[in-house]
A and B are shown apart, each in its own frame.
Chain A
Amino acid sequence: MSSSSLSVQGLAKRYGDFVALAPTDLVVADGEFLTLLGPSGSGKTTLLSLLAGLVPPDEGSVRIGSQDVTYAPPYERDIGVVFQNYALFPHMTVEENIAFPLKMRKVAAAEAKRRAREALEMVHLPHIAGRYPRELSGGQQQRVALARCMVYKPSIILMDEPLGALDKKLREHMQLEIKRLHREMGTTVVYVTHDQEEAMTMSDRICLMNAGRIEQLGTPADLYFRPRSLFVADFLGESNILPAALRHRSGDEVEVRLGTLGVPGRALANGNDLPPGAEVRVMVRPQNLTVVRNAANAADGLQGRVSEVMVTGSLTKVYMQPLDRDLPPLVAAFPTRNEADAVRIDDVLTLSWSGRDAVVIADVIADAARAAGTA
């Protein structure tokens, strides 16, 4: 593992009785792009503010590089922050905005001007140096905010939902732009968003947060294919989550009972000590469901009646209600086909999946552990 540029230990913040951030550990590697993802109120912005030094923590410590900065004011940390509303100074021109951090670092005026121009070129806006922020479009303001942050090459850049105010197309464009700048600069980035797609496309690792704590920390693939909790499985991408009972397990492979059906699955580390018969959940992604052709009997798969068919483009989503009424409705995604053999409403299909793609989550245990932890 490369050297860490940021490490957090037992960091916590409360507002009265409200736990904004439970004691949290986190290590970010040098040059890494880490995303803090989570619903609103999950603690991601609190964590970012603690890293930036905008609010003091209740306990724990923050190190940037080799320096303890837990109680250091923002101007003594080697950081840059891109704010949600950009926070460009309205009374300064674009160039003055970008030169501001250099001026604070006592860089000579001529040198500051040169570097500000350079930064503007990096964000492809060399011609707007003399304008005021209000004369710029949202996308341009965003780029100026990025340039202002990069111009003094802080060792960490913190971004708080920087693309939240932009429309979809511009947002996707800026995502690429930020990735490019991250690659070119090699700076460590901690990025806050509530948009899971954005997190998946941009991050080296995602730190998924919920209710003031880290739910799971890992690569996008880790979180997507190997969710450790029901929350993660549900939050990231579309998923079918079915109640089941554990039948038996050998190593990673397990078999669970789904209604009257025995199906294979893949167990995860946190369910190691589960006894047979324990209640678990099975998570299967819609695109991993397949239709069993010429199903001979009920044991071949999960039978259900199609309730809705939606063509979304290259994929067709098929919603269906299992014939076993105890199970919740499912959604499957198939490549969109010709009309001739397309699925229709009220068709009865038999679905199955490979054991690799079914994740067994011992969520009951995790919930119990959490309940015990907070009590």
Chain B
Amino acid sequence: MAMTRAAGAKRHSPPPAWRKPVLMGAPLVLLLVAFLVFPVGQLLMLSVHNGQGFTLAPYAQLFASSLYVTVLWITLKISLATTLVAVVAAYPVAYLISIAKGPAKSRLIFWVLLSFWTSFLVRAFAWVVILGRNGVINSTLMSLGIIDTPADLLYGFGAVLVGMVHAMLPLAVMTMLAVMENIDRTLPRAAGTLGARPGTAFWTVYFPLSLPGVAASAIMVFVSAIGFFIVPALLGGRMETMITQLIIDQVQQTLNWGLAGAISVLLLTVVLVVFVLYDRVFGFASLTGESAVVRNRDTAMRRLGGRVLAALGSASDALIGMLPRRHPIRGRSEKPVALTAFVWLLLVLISLPAFLMIPLSFGKGGLAWPPSGFTLQWYQQLLDSPIWMQALWRSIVVAFGTGLLSMAIGVPAAFLMVRGQMRGKGAMLAFILSPIVVPRMIIAVGMFYVFAQMGLVGTVLGLVIGHTVVAVPYVVMTMMAVLRNYDTRLDLAAQSLGARPLAALRHVTFPILGAGMLSSFLFAFATSFDELTISLFSSGGLSATLPKQFWDEVTLQVSPVIAAVSTGLLLFVATLIYVADRLRRRSLAS
């Protein structure tokens, strides 16, 4: 009986409006406050408070010699050069992916993702093998008779730049792509119908629209580069020491927490200045690929920019005009042949280093190029080594834990950010993304200090918490992108058909969002699996994760087992990407 049921229905007093948003956002906020703000704050405090009272001694030490300022200058120089080269190289790659369709697009994305997820360590180490005295380049040149004695390619600015660009290029491509995918393809065509030649159409219409992507990509690369220590440590000499390496020294060797804090303050200041400038010009929203809108109303600047772009357009049209005009073949749309060739060359170049590990891992000659003979002894050694096996097991456990915890905390927060209606969403988003903004090294050192007091150093729980702090922003970003494409009316439809909110989530929302959630999980999993900075300190001396073990091996003693590990990691990542892609497609097909 409809009437009696309606009359008998329980009358809830409406829950307070603040309850739901707080429940959804609080776990993430608490996590970040406890394990990001507090540790980093502690570290920064240590630079002005030595346990007895206020002091500026660390800063006096910092500026007493020119060492630290010089290192900061070198760090900035390397980061800027890396950013410039990586962004310029990434642009054609991202552009080609954004205009490609179907299988061609999937192929391109696969290779970028493969590089993206192949461990930084593996890729940096591959350059050691390529550029070393007995490395690929030297032995090739010597066997060709071009040079007599091996050239010193390693341990210099060039080697560091190559390694850094290689490390950052996939990130630059992926960040740029998010913006380029949203550029309406009819706009350059419309420019064509209005009389713009291809060069002009590109420079005056497409390029300005892609600028937010370029900017987002530049800042992501710059901030990652400035906090990077793997590449300069493995490929650089004394003159390429970066500032994060000094922090490691202070913490691991001299135990000078005050100075470590002071250096962190210096580094953090630089990063924050860069970010504030970025926010002024482009806005943080463009980082998540959302509404890439140029807010530039400064007419003098705009006019100048417009003139420069118009000149670039005319110049490229003149250049195109000088080429012999290709006669369009009947019925075949013109394909950007030169662009495609260039992009594939780049992709081969960024994929190749890691693949060199495969022949080396089966060779008898160790890490010298060219590999000789065939043996499985390195794999045998690897499997027989309890240290490596424990590290592998620990990494898998920690990565699973990180994936689950990041999802449990990040997914509700993403729902809140996309659907919630509240003030201060922008500030909240900036806070959630802050683990990406703050250099990883500062987080790691601060966390180590706090974990040591809490007895979390060397525990799985500590690593899971630490990795979740740095993985959760990616989960929130991925889920936000997924949720923005989700039609919320489906939930309302389910509820109108009698589903309670939780049932609607279970039967409608989650099945549709499944693929997106899986990729978020994998993102978190992979972030943890490759995380070195936090593990470097917090995994303790004996219970290393895989990257930590890898790092210890390559910095202390280099053995061909590393090549076997690298091959295994490469295979693992390739499988992961392939499976994720298959799952995504199947969920879309059904």
Using a CB–CB distance below 8 Å, which chain A residues touch chain B?
13-14, 52-59, 71, 73-75, 77, 79-81, 83, 85, 87, 89-91, 100-101, 103-105, 134, 148, 152
How many chain B residues sit at the interface, stated as a range, is: 20 to 34
What are 24 pairs between A and B in contact, CB < 8 Å?
A54-B189, A55-B333, A56-B328, A56-B332, A58-B330, A73-B197, A75-B197, A80-B193, A80-B194, A85-B184, A87-B186, A87-B187, A89-B190, A89-B205, A89-B209, A91-B208, A91-B294, A100-B191, A100-B204, A104-B194, A104-B195, A104-B196, A134-B293, A148-B194
Task: Check B195–A105 contact: CB distance below 8 A.
Answer: yes
**Chain B positions within 8 Å of A85 at CB level:** 184, 186
Task: Check B331–A81 contact: CB distance below 8 A.
Answer: no
For residue B200, CB closer than 8 A to chain A, the reply is yes
Instruction: Give Cα distance in the complex from A1 to B458, angstroms.
Output: 91
**Chain B 283-304 interface 0/1 with A at a Cβ cutoff of 8 Å (1 = within):** 0000000000110000000000
Residues 273-331 of B at the A interface (beta carbon under 8 Å): 293-294, 310, 327-328, 330-331
Which 4 A/B pairs are nearest by Cβ-Cβ distance?
A: A104-B195, A87-B190, A58-B331, A101-B194
Task: Check A56–B330 contact: CB distance below 8 A.
Answer: yes
Q: Which of B186, B327, B334 has the most CB of A within 10 A?
A: B186
Residue of B nearest to A81 (CB): B193
**Chain A positions within 8 Å of B196 at CB level:** 75, 100, 104
Task: Check B193–A52 contact: CB distance below 8 A.
Answer: yes
**Chain B positions within 8 Å of A152 at CB level:** 194-195
Instruction: Give Cα distance in the complex from A59 to B208, angstroms.
Output: 37
Question: Which of A14, A91, A100 is close to B209, meaning CB atoms less than 8 Å apart?
Answer: A91
Question: Which of A57, A58, A71, A74 is close to B193, meaning CB atoms less than 8 Å apart?
Answer: A74
For residue B192, CB closer than 8 A to chain A, the reply is yes
Instruction: Give Cα distance in the complex from A288 to B191, angstroms.
Output: 50
**Chain B positions within 8 Å of A89 at CB level:** 187, 190-191, 205, 209
Instruction: Give Cα distance in the complex from A13 to B333, angstroms.
Output: 11
B296 CB to nearest chain A CB (Å): 8
**Chain B positions within 8 Å of A55 at CB level:** 333
Instruction: Give Cα distance in the complex from A130 to B500, angstroms.
Output: 49
**Chain A positions within 8 Å of B334 at CB level:** 56
Residue of A nearest to B313 (CB): A104
**Chain A positions within 8 Å of B200 at CB level:** 104
Residues A71 and B209 in contact in the complex (CB < 8 Å), given A85-B184, A152-B195: no
Task: Check B192–A75 contact: CB distance below 8 A.
Answer: yes
**Chain A positions within 8 Å of B333 at CB level:** 55-56
**Chain B positions within 8 Å of A56 at CB level:** 328, 330-334
Task: Check A74–B184 contact: CB distance below 8 A.
Answer: no
Instruction: Give Cα distance in the complex from A271 to B74, angstroms.
Output: 88
A322 CB to nearest chain B CB (Å): 42
**Chain A positions within 8 Å of B195 at CB level:** 75, 101, 104-105, 152
Instruction: Give Cα distance in the complex from A85 to B187, angstroms.
Output: 10
Supply 13 further A-B pairs (C-beta < 8 A) apart from A56-B334, A101-B194.
A56-B328, A56-B330, A73-B198, A74-B189, A75-B193, A75-B195, A75-B196, A87-B189, A89-B209, A91-B208, A91-B294, A105-B195, A148-B194
Instruction: Give Cα distance in the complex from A106 to B454, angstroms.
Output: 71
**Chain A positions within 8 Å of B190 at CB level:** 81, 83, 87, 89
Residue of A nearest to B196 (CB): A104
Instruction: Give Cα distance in the complex from A109 to B177, angstroms.
Output: 35
Instruction: Give Cα distance in the complex from A148 to B327, angstroms.
Output: 31
Instruction: Give Cα distance in the complex from A13 to B330, angstroms.
Output: 10
Instruction: Give Cα distance in the complex from A112 to B197, angstroms.
Output: 19
Instruction: Give Cα distance in the complex from A299 to B469, angstroms.
Output: 88
Task: Check B192–A74 contact: CB distance below 8 A.
Answer: yes
Task: Check A90–B209 contact: CB distance below 8 A.
Answer: yes
Instruction: Give Cα distance in the complex from A55 to B333, angstroms.
Output: 7
Q: Which of A13, A79, A83 has the most CB of B within 10 A?
A: A83
Task: Check B193–A79 contact: CB distance below 8 A.
Answer: yes
Instruction: Give Cα distance in the complex from A57 to B184, angstroms.
Output: 24
**Chain B 325-369 interface 0/1 with A at a Cβ cutoff of 8 Å (1 = within):** 001101111100000000000000000000000000000000000
**Chain B positions within 8 Å of A87 at CB level:** 184, 186-187, 189-190
Instruction: Give Cα distance in the complex from A91 to B194, angstroms.
Output: 16
Instruction: Give Cα distance in the complex from A3 to B328, angstroms.
Output: 30
**Chain A positions within 8 Å of B194 at CB level:** 75, 80, 100-101, 104, 148, 152
Instruction: Give Cα distance in the complex from A20 to B204, angstroms.
Output: 33
Residues A73 and B293 in contact in the complex (CB < 8 Å), given A56-B330, A58-B331, A91-B208: no
Residues A57 and B331 in contact in the complex (CB < 8 Å), given A89-B187, A104-B200: yes
**Chain B positions within 8 Å of A83 at CB level:** 186, 190
Instruction: Give Cα distance in the complex from A85 to B185, angstroms.
Output: 11
B5 CB to nearest chain A CB (Å): 37
**Chain A positions within 8 Å of B204 at CB level:** 100
A84 CB to nearest chain B CB (Å): 8
**Chain A positions within 8 Å of B191 at CB level:** 89, 100
A194 CB to nearest chain B CB (Å): 19
A117 CB to nearest chain B CB (Å): 17
Instruction: Give Cα distance in the complex from A77 to B193, angstroms.
Output: 8
Residue of B nearest to A49 (CB): B189
Instruction: Give Cα distance in the complex from A75 to B208, angstroms.
Output: 20
Instruction: Give Cα distance in the complex from A82 to B331, angstroms.
Output: 25
Instruction: Give Cα distance in the complex from A245 to B189, angstroms.
Output: 53
Instruction: Give Cα distance in the complex from A13 to B184, angstroms.
Output: 24
Instruction: Give Cα distance in the complex from A56 to B327, angstroms.
Output: 11
Residue of A nearest to B317 (CB): A75
Residues A14 and B189 in contact in the complex (CB < 8 Å), given A91-B208, A104-B200, A105-B195: no
**Chain B 194-227 interface 0/1 with A at a Cβ cutoff of 8 Å (1 = within):** 1111101000110011000000000000000000
Residue of A nearest to B208 (CB): A91
Instruction: Give Cα distance in the complex from A55 to B330, angstroms.
Output: 11
Q: Which of A55, A59, A74, A85 has the most CB of B within 10 A?
A: A74
Residue of A nearest to B209 (CB): A91
Instruction: Give Cα distance in the complex from A73 to B326, angstroms.
Output: 12
Instruction: Give Cα distance in the complex from A79 to B187, angstroms.
Output: 16
Instruction: Give Cα distance in the complex from A79 to B209, angstroms.
Output: 25
Instruction: Give Cα distance in the complex from A148 to B187, angstroms.
Output: 13
Residue of A nearest to B192 (CB): A74
**Chain B positions within 8 Å of A81 at CB level:** 190, 193
Instruction: Give Cα distance in the complex from A51 to B55, angstroms.
Output: 77
**Chain B positions within 8 Å of A80 at CB level:** 193-194
**Chain A positions within 8 Å of B331 at CB level:** 13-14, 56-59
Residue of A nearest to B187 (CB): A87
**Chain B positions within 8 Å of A90 at CB level:** 187, 209, 293-294
Residue of A nearest to B295 (CB): A132
**Chain A positions within 8 Å of B198 at CB level:** 73
Task: Check B186–A59 contact: CB distance below 8 A.
Answer: no
A346 CB to nearest chain B CB (Å): 35
Instruction: Give Cα distance in the complex from A86 to B184, angstroms.
Output: 11
Instruction: Give Cα distance in the complex from A369 to B580, angstroms.
Output: 52
